[in-house]
Amino acid sequence: MNTSAFSQFRLRVNINAKIEDIYRAWATPAGLEKWFLRKAEFKDSQGTLRDKDTLLQAGDTYEWYWHGYSDEVVERGKVIVANQKDKFQFTFSLGCPVDISIYKEFGETIVALVESDLPVDDTNIIKHYIGDSRGWIFYLTNLKSVLEGGLYLRNKNENLTDVITA
């Protein structure tokens, strides 16, 4: 098996929203909390906590807290690129970069997500390539729903486990 094919994945979704609104959904703590996280805390390079509505900057670090999980479950990482308009990149599980690009295609606004540098041993292919891509498919669907005025699809009950909306 050619495991290098599992070192990255790319997902795209069309969203009926302005590029600026989609960018803010990714690049502000308040934006991330509207569709993705229970709590998003970012600190600048000096260690100062960012305001919820402030656009994030390259070098910011984060702590993310998930719906459906206690505060002991936290994701930590760093913003790598934040161009303030249509490109956002951050580290995710195992420090792997996640690239977000927002652009127009055939009159539609597209969000493209690429997670790369995934480890390609058998255990990590299952956990990260399959697990992360499955998670991102749901989160991108929730982003689309929220930004298009639809429902918030996430499970917020930490007692309810093993559901696809966690």
Let me know if residue 155 belongs to a domain: no
Q: Per the domain annotation, does 123 fall within a domain? A: yes
CATH code assigned at 23: 3.30.530.20
Tokens of 90: 């951050």
CA pair distance 8, 101, nearest whole angstrom: 15
* Residue that the structure tokens 């709590």 belong to: 39
- Adjacent-strand bridge partners of 143: none
Residue 13 to residue 102: CA distance in whole angstroms? 10
Domain-located, residue 137: yes
In 3D, which of 41, 43, 37, 133 has the Cα closest to residue 93? 133
- Digit-coded pLDDT (tens) for 109-121: 999 999 999 999 8
Query: 148 falls in which pLDDT band (50, 70, 90)?
Result: very high
How many structural domains comprise the chain? 1
Which residue range forms the structural domain that includes residue 62? 7-147
pTM: 0.93
Q: What is the DSSP letter of 62?
A: E
State residue 114's pLDDT score: 98
The 10s digit of each residue's pLDDT in 46-81 is: 999 999 999 999 999 999 999 888 899 999 999 999
One-letter amino acid of 135: G
Dihedral sign for Cα atoms in the order 113, 114, 115, 121: positive
Q: How far apart are CA 101 and CA 69, in angstroms?
A: 29
* Greatest Cα-to-Cα distance within the chain, rounded to the nearest angstrom: 47
Dihedrals φ, ψ of 88, to 5°? Answer: -145, 130
Asked if residue 164 belongs to a domain, the reply is no
Residue 160 located in a structural domain: no
Distance separating alpha carbons of residues 128 and 116, to the nearest angstrom: 10
